[in-house]
Amino acid sequence: MISMHTSPLQQPGQGDAGGMNVYVLNSAKKLAEQGIDVDVYTRATRPSQGEVVEVAPRLRVINVVAGPYEGLEKEDLSTQLAAFAGGILVFARCQDLSYDLVHSHYWLSGQVGWLLRDVWQVPLVHTAHTLAAVKNSHRAAHDSAESEARRICEQQIVDNADRLVVNTHEECRDLVTHYDTDVTKVAVVPPGVDIELFNPGSDRATERSRRYLGIPLHAKVVAFVGRLQVFKGPDVLIHAVAELLRRQPYRNVSVIICGGPSGASTRPDHYIELARELGVDRHIRFLHPRPPEELVTIYRAADIVAVPSYNESFGLVAMEAQATGTPVIAARVGGLPIAVAEGETGTLVDGHDPSDWADALEAMLDDDETRIRMGEDAVEHAAAFSWTNTAERLVSVYNDVLVSEGVEPCFRRHAEGV
């Protein structure tokens, strides 16, 4: 696997780390558990990482030096594609490694995967996670556009990859609409959720979580988890809360925003200042990104988790929240209508008008019976998605592409221990 711009071991919710990191790490772990040897190549960002990290039996992360450890924005990483690809080739040659297949994640990795596919003469499977054309068609008016250079690179990957893996059928349609993709090359493989970690806990889990976080026990709590960038919509939630409190100034509502700034244009204190300007700063608490083991506490402490993104290929935060028994209010975009069962485990909002979001928050916060019922149903809904299922579907995709290339489906052999 190739994940050039962000390591699967990096803390999600800060910098460029997010749902893709969760996807790569968890799918790789489950593939390894099935007996498949997986190396994940990523760009080294500090010397203390070491070249090889043994994550689990059969799973390694290889840190490749390509450019300076620090000081390179994601937008500048394309200047290091040759150095990164060269580092992979040198490592594989020195270790006398051979691979059956390359699976690249995101367009930067896809460009490298395209080269390695031809050098090693093995199939290339690619997962975009996000697409420039789709992001540009959904972005907020004040958000910066993705470059035409990225869109061209994505088109090259789409044209040359042996198989394209997407999270939802809507993503498949996006590839066809924006990149003229051959639909027979596309495989839909939904992501999973760690239902062993993300669960409702015991009867007093909400109370204990609130005490741990220092949240009033009787407040209505709304949580946001994710990178603090325009595309994720934290400003939509902040404006919606301001509207909610304008309607009812003494409403007992607390908001947790957990995440770190992402992107060169986002200042660390931007959203803190926005909350202060709108006069809602005493209702909103900002937390630094948390590892999954601590995110569970935030999800359990919340009455609602808000996902106001302008687009999501799937929406892992929404699924994690539901697995803990917390209903979700999400934008009706991308894969979120699949991640959230509208009317059953949450509510979908058309658009990003803060007034509409305030309406949705008000309705769910004031209807305890429906909100509690949605939380109970959410656990069952999330249980249908697991990383084991994701890995099994990926094994099927890998074998299918090998067969189409005239190669014996070796992953089935490994998985069955033959």
Instruction: State yes or no: pLDDT of 417 exceeds 60.
Output: no
pLDDT score for 408? 82
Residue 24, both tokens: 């790569």
Strand partners, 261: 228
pLDDT score for 406? 84
Q: Known binder of ligand: residue 300?
A: yes
**Region class of 417: left (phi > 0), else alpha (psi between -120 and 50), else beta:** left
pLDDT band at 19 (very low <50, low <70, confident <90, very high): confident
Q: Known binder of ligand: residue 70?
A: no
Q: Known binder of ligand: residue 69?
A: no
pLDDT band at 12 (very low <50, low <70, confident <90, very high): low
Residue 11: phi and psi, rounded to 5, are -65, 115
Instruction: State yes or no: pLDDT of 128 exceeds 90.
Output: yes
Angle between helices 19-33 and 387-404 (to 10 degrees): 70
pLDDT score for 88? 98
Q: Known binder of ligand: residue 130?
A: yes
What are the sequence ranges of the domains in the chain?
19-192+386-415, 205-383
Query: pLDDT tens-digit profile of 205-264?
Result: 999 999 999 998 999 999 999 989 898 999 999 999 999 999 999 999 999 999 988 765
pLDDT score for 13? 58
Torsion angle in degrees (nearest 10) through CA of 285, 286, 288, 292: 60
Q: Known binder of ligand: residue 227?
A: yes
Dist. CA 381–CA 378, nearest whole Å: 5
pLDDT score for 418? 34
Estimate the share of the chain in helix, then strand, then coil, as percent rounded to the nearest 5.
50, 15, 35
Which long-range contacts does 338-344 make (Cβ < 8 Å, 24+ apart)?
338/168, 338/170, 338/190, 338/314, 339/312, 339/314, 339/315, 340/307, 340/315, 341/377, 341/378, 341/381, 344/374, 344/377, 344/381
Lowest model confidence (mean pLDDT) among 8-22, 87-101, 137-151, 172-186: 8-22
pLDDT score for 381? 95
Which whole number is the average pLDDT over 157-180? Answer: 95
Instruction: State yes or no: pLDDT of 371 exceeds 80.
Output: yes
Q: Known binder of ligand: residue 16?
A: yes
Which whole number is the average pLDDT over 362-369? Answer: 97
Q: Known binder of ligand: residue 106?
A: yes
Q: Does domain 205-383 have CATH number 1.10.40.50?
A: no
Q: Known binder of ligand: residue 21?
A: yes
Higher pLDDT, 220 or 49: 220
Q: Known binder of ligand: residue 285?
A: no
Q: Known binder of ligand: residue 150?
A: yes
pLDDT score for 112? 98
Q: Known binder of ligand: residue 20?
A: yes
Query: pLDDT tens-digit profile of 259-313?
Result: 988 765 566 689 999 999 999 999 999 999 888 889 999 999 999 999 999 988 8
Strand partners, 62: 41, 52
Domains 19-192+386-415 and 205-383 share a fold: yes
pLDDT score for 413? 46
Q: Known binder of ligand: residue 12?
A: yes
What value does the mean pLDDT of the chain take?
A: 92
Strand partners, 414: none
Secondary structure class of 251 (helix, strand, coil): coil
Which whole number is the average pLDDT over 124-146? Answer: 87
Task: Note the CATH number of domain 19-192+386-415.
Answer: 3.40.50.2000
pLDDT > 90: percent of the chain: 77
Q: Known binder of ligand: residue 29?
A: no
Q: What is the pTM of this model?
A: 0.84
Lowest model confidence (mean pLDDT) among 185-189, 196-200, 203-207: 203-207
Q: Known binder of ligand: residue 143?
A: no
Q: Known binder of ligand: residue 290?
A: yes
Dist. CA 56–CA 77, nearest whole Å: 28
Instruction: State yes or no: pLDDT of 416 exceeds 60.
Output: no
pLDDT score for 415? 46
Q: Known binder of ligand: residue 310?
A: no
pLDDT score for 16? 65
Spatial contact of 305 and 328, defined as CB atoms under 8 Å apart? yes
